[in-house]
C-alpha cells in the first residue's frame, strides 16, 4: 500500500540561508517563517503574542532598532517599511519548534520538521568545521615543532663546522703499532 506523502519539499539550503546569528543565537526571522508556513506575518505574530508564555527569551528575541538596521544593511530585510512598522521577532531553534504548537495548520507542522532538519544540519556543519580547525591546528603545531627540530640540527652542524679541529691536536684512535726497540 503506497501512501502518497504530502510532505513539503523545500531545499534545505533555502532554509539554511534564512538562519542568522543574532545575540549569539541561531535564529530565523518572522517574515521568513511566515513565508515558509504560508501565513501572513501579522497572523504569525498575533498567534505568538496570544501565547507569549510559550516563548521565553531563549526561544524568541524581539530585534532592537540597531539590529534591524544591520539586517536591512545586509539585505536580510528589504527595508524597515517591509516590516510594517513593527519590530521583527527572531525565533531560536526551540522557538521554531514551539511555533508548531501555536500554528495549528498541517503545513506549519510539516514545515517545522524541515526547519528542524535544517538546524540539525547547520549544527553538524559547525561541528565538522570545529573538528577541521582542531585538526589544522594540530598539524600546525607539529609543523612548528618540526621546524624547531630542523633548526636545532642545523645549529649543531654549524657548531661542528666551526669546531674543525686539527687532527694532529687530537689523540689518534685505532690500531697503534708497537714501537720498535733498539
Question: pLDDT tens digits, the chain, 182 residues: what are they?
Answer: 444 444 556 667 777 778 888 888 888 888 888 888 888 888 888 889 998 988 998 989 988 888 888 877 777 677 676 666 678 899 988 888 888 778 777 677 677 777 777 777 777 777 777 777 777 788 777 777 777 778 888 887 777 777 665 555 666 677 777 777 76
Give a yes or no: residue 159 inside a domain. no
Residues spanned by the domain of 69: 12-132
Give a yes or no: residue 72 inside a domain. yes
Cβ neighbours for 65, distance < 8 A, ≥ 6 positions apart: 87
DSSP symbol at 52: G
Q: How far is CA 40 from the centre of its chain?
A: 31
**Cβ contact 71:88 at 8 Å:** yes
Residue 89's DSSP bridge partners are 62
Beta strand 25-29 with 60-62 is: unpaired
**Cβ contact 88:55 at 8 Å:** no
Give a yes or no: residue 145 inside a domain. no
Give a yes or no: residue 155 inside a domain. no
Its pTM stands at 0.55
Which cell numbers hold the place of 73? Answer: 544593511
Cβ density class 121-155: b for 16+ within 10 Å, e for less: ebeeeeeeeeeeeeeeeeeeeeeeeeeeeeeeeee
Domain count for the chain? 1
Mean confidence (pLDDT) of the chain:
77
What pLDDT shows up at residue 13? 74
10 Å CB burial of residue 180 (0-12, 13-18, 19+) is: exposed
CA dist 15 and 13 (Å) reads 5
Give a yes or no: residue 57 inside a domain. yes
Give a yes or no: residue 5 inside a domain. no
Task: Kindly report the number of other CB atoms within 10 A of residue 176's CB atom.
Answer: 7
Give a yes or no: residue 147 inside a domain. no
Give a yes or no: residue 180 inside a domain. no
Amino acid at each position: 500500500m503506497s501512501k502518497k506523502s504530502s510532505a513539503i519539499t523545500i531545499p534545505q539550503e533555502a532554509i539554511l540561508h534564512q538562519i542568522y546569528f543574532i545575540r549569539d543565537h541561531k535564529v530565523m526571522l518572522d517574515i521568513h517563517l511566515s513565508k515558509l508556513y504560508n501565513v501572513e506575518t501579522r497572523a504569525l505574530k498575533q498567534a505568538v503574542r496570544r501565547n507569549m508564555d510559550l516563548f521565553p527569551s531563549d526561544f524568541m528575541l524581539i530585534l532592537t532598532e540597531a539590529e534591524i538596521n544591520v539586517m536591512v544593511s545586509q539585505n536580510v530585510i528589504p527595508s524597515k517599511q517591509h516590516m510594517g512598522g513593527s519590530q521583527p521577532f527572531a525565533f531560536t531553534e526551540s522557538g521554531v519548534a514551539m511555533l508548531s504548537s501555536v500554528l495549528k495548520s498541517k503545513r506549519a507542522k510539516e514545515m517545522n520538521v524541515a526547519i528542524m532538519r535544517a538546524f540539525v544540519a547547520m549544527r553538524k556543519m559547525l561541528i565538522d568545521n570545529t573538528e577541521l580547525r582542531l585538526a589544522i591546528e594540530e598539524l600546525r603545531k607539529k609543523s612548528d615543532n618540526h621546524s624547531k627540530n630542523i633548526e636545532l640540527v642545523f645549529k649543531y652542524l654549524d657548531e661542528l663546522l666551526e669546531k674543525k679541529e686539527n687532527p694532529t691536536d687530537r689523540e689518534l684512535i685505532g690500531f697503534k703499532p708497537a714501537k720498535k726497540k733498539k
